[in-house]
Amino acid sequence: NSGAFNYGAYHTLDNLYRAIDAIMLDYKSIVSKQLIGHSYEGRPLYVIKFSTGANRPGIWIDAGIHSREWVTQATALWTAHKLAAEYGKDAFVTSLLNNYDVFLLPVTNPDGYAFTHTTNRMWRKTRSIRSGSRCVGVDPNRNWNAGFGGPGASSDPCSDSYFGPKAESEVEVKAVADFIRGHSNIKGFISIHSYSQLLMFPYGYKCTKPADFEELNDVGNAAAMALRSLYGTQYKVGTICSTIYQASGGSIDWTYDVGIKYSFAFELRDTGRYGFLLPANQILPTAQETWLGLKKILEHIRDNP
């Protein structure tokens, strides 16, 4: 029973995958699970698909590309249950799913996530091994083919921001990129990170504004305002370059450049003292407020097909 699952706690990968199965079984008329590939160590990459009809445009949401950002995987799972349980009850969710498919990948980097549970809570990268290198893993959010290898990414395999030997060298990144390339009708791409409370849009690999700057900035600010309305959590909104600094090889830059206008990245709570170690009692408030921000973006996509 997916309703009995404790969404307000951090879980192992196996338990997250069991929860995905429970959501799928409870709401099988609209929820299915798609295997889009396997991680470097062979773990499955499951996308939860929400769909009520054929040939719909799609919206992509992912979390956990950086494994130590535990509140993101937890928020994604809560969101999955929210979407499934509210269809037919909530007017917004119903209208969204009557017009769009939603693809949600709660754990983009499962090897890293498992490693954070067993060995190193602060692990960020994938767990890929390359002969001749003494260090493990690549930063999967520096590995996309968008200004690959440029500023804000490291050529040092031991660095936490190592961009990898080539773009899409990481099977986890390639699996998502292949999925996007295989679905020409994806209208929105939202990637969930933590922490710092930011809502960002392209570009990061360069510091010029995207062609749709005004619209993305307006949508982002509306989303941040909606998010703030629940608990007063303040977000900064802007391009990656203006909210952090120039950083290349990121996912939303790539998706924007391949034509997905509504490409956003959230950095969830907090700005205070916990960062990656956000206490479990903040999972539900974080997920609830994030939902309000997500909803604003999804509404805009729905109304601007």
Partner 1 sequence: GEKTFIGEQVLRIKASNGDQIVQLQDLQSLAHLQLDFWTNPSNPEIPVDVRVPFESLQSVKIYLESNKIDYSIMIEDLQEVINAEKQEMISSERKER
> Which of residues 14 and 156 has its CB atom nearest to partner 1 in the complex?
156
Residue 240 CB, shortest distance to partner 1, in Å, is 10
d(CA 269, CA 276): 9
**Residue with Cβ nearer partner 1 (21 or 156):** 156
195 near partner 1, rule: CB under 8 A: yes
Examine residue 133 and tell whether it contacts partner 1 (CB under 8 A). Answer: no
Secondary structure element (H or E) that encloses residue 162, with its range: none
* CA atoms of 251 and 168, how far apart (whole Å): 11
Number of amino acids touching partner 1 (CB under 8 A)? 23
- Binds partner 1 by CB under 8 A, chosen from 225, 244, 258, 280: 244
Q: Tell which residue, 296, 158, 152, 289, has the closest CA to residue 233.
A: 289
**Residue 161-180 contact track with partner 1, rule CB under 8 A, x = bound:** x-------------------
Q: If binding is defined by CB under 8 A, does position 78 make contact with partner 1?
A: no
Q: C-alpha angle 304/85/102, rounded to 5°?
A: 35
> Applying CB under 8 A, does 192 fall inside the site for partner 1?
no
Secondary structure (3-state) at 101: strand
From first CA to last CA, the distance across the chain in angstroms is: 35
Please indicate whether residue 267 is annotated as part of the active site: yes
Q: Is 214 exposed, middle or buried, given 0-12, 13-18 or 19+ CB atoms closer than 10 A?
A: exposed
- Quick one: which of 51, 196, 282, 288 contacts partner 1 (CB under 8 A)? 196
CB of 273 to partner 1, least distance (A): 4
Which of residues 117, 275, 284, 285 is near partner 1 by CB under 8 A? 275
Contact 105, 43 (CB under 8 A): no
CA atoms of 129 and 117, how far apart (whole Å): 19
Query: Using the rule CB under 8 A, is 152 a contact of partner 1?
Result: yes
The yes or no reply on residue 160 touching partner 1 (CB under 8 A) is yes
We find the least distance from the C-beta atom of residue 196 to partner 1, in angstroms, to be: 5
Q: What crossing angle do the helices spanning 13-26 and 110-118 adopt, rounded to 10°?
A: 130
Contact residue for partner 1 among 197, 251, 255, 263 (CB under 8 A): 197
Residue with Cβ nearer partner 1 (253 or 270): 270
d(CA 142, CA 119): 23
Nearer to partner 1, 41 or 160 (CB): 160
44: enclosing H helix or E strand: strand 44-50
Question: Which of 54, 119, 134, 273 lies at the binding interface for partner 1 (CB under 8 A)?
Answer: 273
* Residues of this chain that bind partner 1 (CB under 8 A): 151-154, 156, 159-161, 195-197, 236, 242-245, 247, 270-275
